[in-house]
Amino acid sequence: MKKAISIFSGGLDCTVATSVFSKSHKIHAITFNYGQKAFKRELKASKEICKKMDWTHEVIDLPWLANISNSSLNTNEKIPELSAEDLDNLKISQESASSVWVPARNTVFTSIALSYAESIGASSIIVGWNGEEGATFPDNSKGYMKKFNELIKEGSPENIRIEAPLIDLDKEEIVKLGVEYDAPMELSYSCYKGKKKQCGICESCMRRKRAFKNLGIKDKSEYEN
């Protein structure tokens, strides 16, 4: 069976993306600790999902990234709270994305995943990058993925590719795909704030909640709001 590295936060997107490859690849999931407020909850979700799916799991600490970041994800700055209407307002969404931006996060994560892929003979790096978030996060975009794959082809002696099965999908389509592949979405944790129950009002929670609601599918996660 082929091997794959999954950049895995325990969130909805990476859970669905990794589940797509689960039957055809032996999964080695990596969860990064960069001082984010939600790390403990992300770790709990990641461990539970990996145990259920029989995926290998590892944590990598990046204290230096926490030290240089001024993101609201890992500082005392307040995480933005959005209304349902705000999600389709590009200006507000861009402001929210700017607040939670961690310097070169996906570039750092993917570079480390590439190193792991080379070391264990993995052919794929699975990511949860998707079309909906790619509109405001440049390191979630199809163009970014294309350039990174070109970089790997140029700079790695191994035949390794980034695989992003959600790259053209919005959240509703992601949830549909999760149902199709029987992804353990009920164990995933998407909230930026890191509370026991997901807050329900940060951008990540709002996009998740809207997708399940619009599809008429029950989200078994617990929310404060």
Long-range contacts of 88-96 (CB under 8 A, 24+ apart): 90/135, 90/136, 93/135, 93/136, 93/203, 94/136, 96/136, 96/203
- Buried b vs exposed e over 26-38: b needs ≥16 C-beta within 10 Å? ebbbbbbbbbbbb
Q: Is 202 assigned a ligand-binding role in the annotation?
A: yes
Residue 81 CB: number of other CB atoms within 10 A? Answer: 17
| 16 appears as a binding residue in the annotation | yes
**Is 11 assigned a ligand-binding role in the annotation?**
yes
18 is in an annotated binding site: yes
Cα dist. 163→6, 135, 137, 149, 159 in Å? 9, 19, 18, 9, 13
Is 15 flagged in the annotation as binding?
yes
Distance of CA 57 to the CA centre of its chain: 15
168 is in an annotated binding site: no
Judge whether 50 is annotated as a binding position: no
The label of the residue with tokens 């790619």 reads: 134
Does 14 count as an annotated binding residue? yes
10 labelled ligand-binding: yes
Query: Which residue's structure tokens are 């079309």?
Result: 131
Alpha carbon distance 165, 168 (integer Å): 8
Is 54 assigned a ligand-binding role in the annotation? no
Q: Which has the closest alpha carbon to 122: 22, 5, 39, 23?
A: 5
Q: Is 199 annotated as a binding residue?
A: yes
Task: Could you list the residues known to form a binding site for ATP, using ranges.
Answer: 8-18
Residues in the annotated binding site for Zn(2+): 191, 199, 202, 205
Q: Which residues are annotated as a binding site?
A: 8-18, 191, 199, 202, 205
